[in-house]
């Protein structure tokens, strides 16, 4: 999942560099070598020459690198780094864009700490790094998603995403409903619940028949409004009693979007008002408490400013709308100077990706172990202030929003669409007002990972390396959104060959059904204009078409050959791999290890436990050896020895395998072998090397296809066998039972 770790790493690095390079106030003489560089810089900027800009910035950085930071150096280098980073971004070189942004951050932080406030610059640069540092990843939609956390909050599904709209909105088998009540409204909570239920049968079903309901309890957005909350004991208790009496799970969103009220509330007063409601709500086990800010905060506060504390929060929500705001800079051009603010507000050039704006809030939810919900959202298809129809934009953003958020932030367990053309807004969101937007919404929420009415658990997204799925059924999607506008093209490669090329987010394709058992590589390569990125994963497939991401393997297959990995997985799935044979797969198997495989196979196939009997050996008392001897599977090496640690030969294996078949057939009343010939095929030129006591056993095993030659027409009866080869033999025999 995407998180703020890169941003935090950059900040930590900056702090380290600054702490090591800070100096006390002292005179600094600018070196003579700087002045020609300054002239070249001015020339490059005037000519808007990107290559020259980058070159001069690098030369100037080299000139000052290693010197203690001071006011003069930082004031020179901060804008140089800014411009160099922008040039690299225009060229599509995100790695170097990130490098120069981090350098800019270092100089800006020093100036902020030692000269004057650089708060706005720091906010913007960190926001730009968030956009540039997005991690490309392939996700799999599976029934048991490993990456989806479950915190046990009231109303939280273990996996899957609730969805719904406001009352009388466009309903598609909604699994949840959204209603609004203004705090202190004189009609009271009972009136409004009944009003919405009479207005809309879907809401009525949710409220009175065990559904999920988000109730947005909005405050008057001022400190005086908070004082009203604090003095409304009777109204609060009566309202919550009404909610507690209903047959539904209530996701109670308390005083939303406080971080962007026109008049920012006093933090402690807001927390006090929130807690007052929360403490009373704790009397009812069907009410979940939702702390729900806006996605973008006022630049003077952040989410933590108003967080009321873990004991008062069950879910973290957010309001997040995509409106196609023009921003301050609209294109990747040298002279564009407004991109910094665009990054913070996720507009303009940085308005294409709906996930970045939620990164810090998702980190807050993860840190506090809370599920997330999108409390309200919308994709605007019409701007009434400009008269611009933006259907294509709305369709694109709606698809990305509903597709990528549950992938990138798997703690998101509910999404509510604001299906209203609100009179106070310049933007139209009403689904019924635009058929393209409506059909996009309908198509997305009608399938996984979205829960349909009556479902409380479903499929979810997990990164491919943590997935367990099925070939031919597992859907892959790739998260990658480059800065700027326009859609990318994503090409999937299976073992180096093109598997699919997709031109629309979230770049979905299905794993082929005919995936051979073994190790495979899945790679996604995305490109849009000058931007490109790629990511590669290793997956493992067993004989039954079960697909395992590298981090979901039930055992470590790093010591297995690629051809054997899938077969070992199949054997493991069938409980045929034992404790002594679950590693070091390329090493030769010993007599005791193979005896353990043989005994285990008999017990699995017959459903009974073998007896250890009375036979003893001078060199082992291991129960496996005693079981094998009692069952007649292995008789020892003579002189009372079992030789447990001796590598077993291929002819000894054939003897044991035939005895395994005898034991299983006797117990189950079956006749496993179809070819009873005890003559070794003349195609094997070394049959004369087989010991007399092993000849007929080796003949029967090879004639029935359970063991093949070693190549060049030889059986190699005296050769040893690796653990992976032995497991393959056991699996092949098990498949005949």
What would the pLDDT profile of 516-534 be if each residue is shown by its tens digit? 989 999 999 999 999 999 9
What is the CATH topology of the domain spanning 161-447? TIM Barrel (3.20.20)
Q: Which of 404, 425, 508 has the alpha carbon at shortest distance from 134? A: 404
Residue 708's pLDDT band (boundaries 50, 70, 90)? confident
Alpha-carbon torsion (469, 472, 475, 478), positive or negative: positive
Residue 86's pLDDT band (boundaries 50, 70, 90)? very high
- For the chain, what percent of residues have pLDDT higher than 90? 86
What is the CATH topology of the domain spanning 461-552? Immunoglobulin-like (2.60.40)
**Which segments of the chain belong to CATH 3.20.20.80?**
161-447
Query: Is 5 exposed, middle or buried (CB count within 10 Å of its CB: 0-12, 13-18, 19+)?
Result: exposed
Q: What is the pLDDT of residues 555-591, one digit of tens each?
A: 999 999 999 999 999 999 999 999 999 999 999 999 9
What is the rounded average pLDDT of the residues 126-153? 95
What pLDDT is recorded for position 301?
94
pLDDT surpasses 50 at 686: yes
Bridge partners for 493 per DSSP: 498, 523
- For the chain, what percent of residues have pLDDT higher than 70? 96
What pLDDT is recorded for position 20?
39
pLDDT surpasses 50 at 5: no
What pLDDT is recorded for position 23?
43
What pLDDT is recorded for position 486?
82
Please tell me the pTM assigned to this model.
Answer: 0.88
Q: How many CB atoms lie under 10 A from the CB of residue 699? A: 23
What pLDDT is recorded for position 70?
95
What pLDDT is recorded for position 712?
80
CA neighbours closer than 13 Å in the CB half-sphere of residue 607: 2
What pLDDT is recorded for position 328?
66
pLDDT surpasses 90 at 709: no
pLDDT surpasses 60 at 10: no
**Which segments of the chain belong to CATH 2.60.40?**
461-552
Residue 489 phi, psi (nearest 5): -115, 130
Query: Is 224 exposed, middle or buried (CB count within 10 Å of its CB: 0-12, 13-18, 19+)?
Result: exposed
Q: What is the pLDDT of residues 164-211, one digit of tens each?
A: 999 999 999 999 999 999 999 999 999 999 999 999 999 999 999 999
Helix then strand then coil, in percent of the chain rounded to 5, is 45, 20, 40
- Average model confidence (pLDDT) across the chain: 93
pLDDT surpasses 50 at 24: no
Residue 635's pLDDT band (boundaries 50, 70, 90)? confident
């Amino acid at each position: 999942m995407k998180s703020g770790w890169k941003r935090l790493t950059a900040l930590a690095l900056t702090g380290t560099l600054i702490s090591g390079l800070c100096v006390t106030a002292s005179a600094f003489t600018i070196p003579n070598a700087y002045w020609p560089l300054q002239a070249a810089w001015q020339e490059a900027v005037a000519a808007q020459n990107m290559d020259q800009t980058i070159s001069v910035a690098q030369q100037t950085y080299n000139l000052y690198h290693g010197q203690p930071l001071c006011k003069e150096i930082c004031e020179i280098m901060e804008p140089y780094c800014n411009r160099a980073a922008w040039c690299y971004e225009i060229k599509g070189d995100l790695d170097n864009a990130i490098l120069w942004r981090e350098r800019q951050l270092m100089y800006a932080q020093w100036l902020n700490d030692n000269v004057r406030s650089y708060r706005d610059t720091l906010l913007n640069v960190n926001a730009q790094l968030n956009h540039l540092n997005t991690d490309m990843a392939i996700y799999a939609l599976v029934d048991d998603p490993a990456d989806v956390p479950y915190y046990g909050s009231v109303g939280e599904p273990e996996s899957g995403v609730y969805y719904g709209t406001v009352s009388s909105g466009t309903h598609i088998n909604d699994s949840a409903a959204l209603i609004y009540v203004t705090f202190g409204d004189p009609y009271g909570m009972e009136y409004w619940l009944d009003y919405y239920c009479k207005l809309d049968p879907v809401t009525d079903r949710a409220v009175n028949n065990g559904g999920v309901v988000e109730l947005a309890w909005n405050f008057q957005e001022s400190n005086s409004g908070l004082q009203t909350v604090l003095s409304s004991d009777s109204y609060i208790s009566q309202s919550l009693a009404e909610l507690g009496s209903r047959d539904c799970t209530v996701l109670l969103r308390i005083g939303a979007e406080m971080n962007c009220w026109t008049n920012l509330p006093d933090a402690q007063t807001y927390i006090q008002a929130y807690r007052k409601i929360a403490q009373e709500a704790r009397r009812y086990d069907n009410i979940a408490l939702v702390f729900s800010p806006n996605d973008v905060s006022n630049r003077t506060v952040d989410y933590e400013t108003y967080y009321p504390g873990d004991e008062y929060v069950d879910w973290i929500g957010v309001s997040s709308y995509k409106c196609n705001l023009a921003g301050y800079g609209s294109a990747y051009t040298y002279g564009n100077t407004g991109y910094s603010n665009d990054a913070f507000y996720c507009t303009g050039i940085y308005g294409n990706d709906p996930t970045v704006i939620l990164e810090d809030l998702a980190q807050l939810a993860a840190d506090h172990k809370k599920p997330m919900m999108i409390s309200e959202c919308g994709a605007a298809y019409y701007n009434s202030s400009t008269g611009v129809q933006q259907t294509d934009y709305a369709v694109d953003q709606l698809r990305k929003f509903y597709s990528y958020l549950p992938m990138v932030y798997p703690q998101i367990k509910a999404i509510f669409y604001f299906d209203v053309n609100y009179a106070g807004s310049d933007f139209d969101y009403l689904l019924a007002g635009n058929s393209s937007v409506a059909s996009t919404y309908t198509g997305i929420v009608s399938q996984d990972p979205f829960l349909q009415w009556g479902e409380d658990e479903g499929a979810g997204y997990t990164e491919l390396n943590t997935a367990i799925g099925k070939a031919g059924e597992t859907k892959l999607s790739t998260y990658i959104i480059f800065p700027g506008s326009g859609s990318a093209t994503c090409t999937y490669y299976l073992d180096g060959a093109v598997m699919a090329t997709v031109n629309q987010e979230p770049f979905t394709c299905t794993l082929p059904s005919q995936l051979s058992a073994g190790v495979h590589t899945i790679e996604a390569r995305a490109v849009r204009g000058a931007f490109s990125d790629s990511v590669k994963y290793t997956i493992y497939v067993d004989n039954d078409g079960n697909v395992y991401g590298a981090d979901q393997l039930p055992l470590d297959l790093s010591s297995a050959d690629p051809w054997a990995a899938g077969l070992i997985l199949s054997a493991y799935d069938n409980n045929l791999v034992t404790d002594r044979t679950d590693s070091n797969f390329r090493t030769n198997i010993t007599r005791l290890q193979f005896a353990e495989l043989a005994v285990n196979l008999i017990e699995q196939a017959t459903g009974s436990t073998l007896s250890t009997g009375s036979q003893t050996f001078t060199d082992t008392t291991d129960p496996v050896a005693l079981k094998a001897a009692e069952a007649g599977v292995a008789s020892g090496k003579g002189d009372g020895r079992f030789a447990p640690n001796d590598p077993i030969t291929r002819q000894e294996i054939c003897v044991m395998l035939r005895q395994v078949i005898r034991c299983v057939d006797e117990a189950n009343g079956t006749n496993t072998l179809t070819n009873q010939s005890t003559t070794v095929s003349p195609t094997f030129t070394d049959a004369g090397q087989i010991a007399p006591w092993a000849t007929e056993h080796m003949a029967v095993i090879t004639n029935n296809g359970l063991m093949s030659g070693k190549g060049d027409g030889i059986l190699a009866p005296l050769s040893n066998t690796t653990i992976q080869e032995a497991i393959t033999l056991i699996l092949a025999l098990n498949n005949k039972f």
